Amino acid sequence: MKQLENKVAIVTGGGSGIGREVALHYAAEGAKVVVSDVNESGGNETVALIKKNSGEALFVKADSSRPSDNAMLVQRAIERYGALHIACNNAGIGGPSASTGEYPIDGWDKVISTNLSGVFYGMRYQIPAMLKAGGGAIVNMASILGQVGFRNAPAYVAAKHGVVGLTKNAALEYGMQNIRINVVGPAFIKTPLIKDIDEKFLVPLHPMGRIGMPGEVAELVLFLSSEKASFITGGYFAIDGGYLAQ
């Protein structure tokens, strides 16, 4: 039997990068996957890839920074598949590059609303649905920058630190109601999010001498979403090629 047989999962930011790989991994292990993204073509492509491999998936265009879109996304999952058991709150943006004293206010607001508030909005509507289903698992996507600073990225760093704290808090609240909530902290991963950064700058930051691949992160997310991680909640799990060991 596959690890996620008869489970229904939501993946935000599923149109590319880590989110796409998480959706593909979930589907390969038997989950019915609701893929969401603001990028309609990317999201539909992810669904097509899942169906090509005999999986079951639905694309729903949604902006994670909007509470109403998160509510709608959960409702669509329940309408199509009958319940919600798993969620990976992965959608995120990089934002402007500037020091704190010069950071654009609109950039701050956009990064915080997507990367932090979007995770809260997701859980706000996912958790009640999971309670009705008898329990579930949530994996939130933070970053190594949820543990340390990074010059000229104050909004991103603040948001990802916030996601770690939010995850721990929610895990405490729902641990006795059969909902496990964990957070993953990738280092620099080869995704569209870092397409404008020279890899020659990024590679030396990682003791393993390379950046990570989306599929490597997806394997960790899959584990945390499955019953193999049945006694794991409230944890922060770095997948960083040794970045935080320095």
Tens of pLDDT, residues 53-101: 999 999 999 999 999 999 999 999 999 999 999 999 999 999 999 999 9
Helices (H) and strands (E) counted in the chain, each on its own, are 8, 7
Share of the chain above pLDDT 70, in %: 100
Residue-wise pLDDT for 97-129, tens only, equals: 999 999 999 999 999 999 999 999 999 999 999
pLDDT classification of 28: cutoffs 50, 70, 90: very high
Q: Report the amino acid identity of residue 159.
A: A
Q: Which residues of 100-121 are buried (b: 16+ CB within 10 A; e: fewer)?
A: eeebeeebbebbbbbbbbbbbb
What value does the mean pLDDT take over residues 195-212? 91
11-74-46-31 Cα dihedral, nearest 10 degrees: 70
DSSP 212: B
Q: What is the phi/psi pair of residue 224, to 5°?
A: -65, -25
The upper half-sphere exposure of residue 57, i.e. CA atoms within 13 Å in the direction of its Cβ, equals 32
pLDDT tens for 42-51 read: 999 999 999 9
Q: Is the CB of residue 25 less than 8 Å from the CB of residue 224?
A: no
Residue from 140, 130, 127, 148 nearest 166 by CA: 140
Catalytic: 103?
Answer: no
CA distances from 159 to 63, 172, 179, 237 (A): 17, 20, 23, 17
How far is the C-alpha of 215 from the C-alpha of 105, rounded, in Å?
A: 34
Exposed/middle/buried for 39, CB within 10 Å: 0-12, 13-18, 19+?
A: middle
pTM: 0.97
Could you give the domains of the chain? 8-245 (3.40.50.720)
Q: What percent of the chain has pLDDT over 90?
A: 95
Q: Which of 59, 150, 143, 158 shows the shortest CA–CA distance to 113?
A: 158
Catalytic residue (one of 156, 174, 236, 243):
156
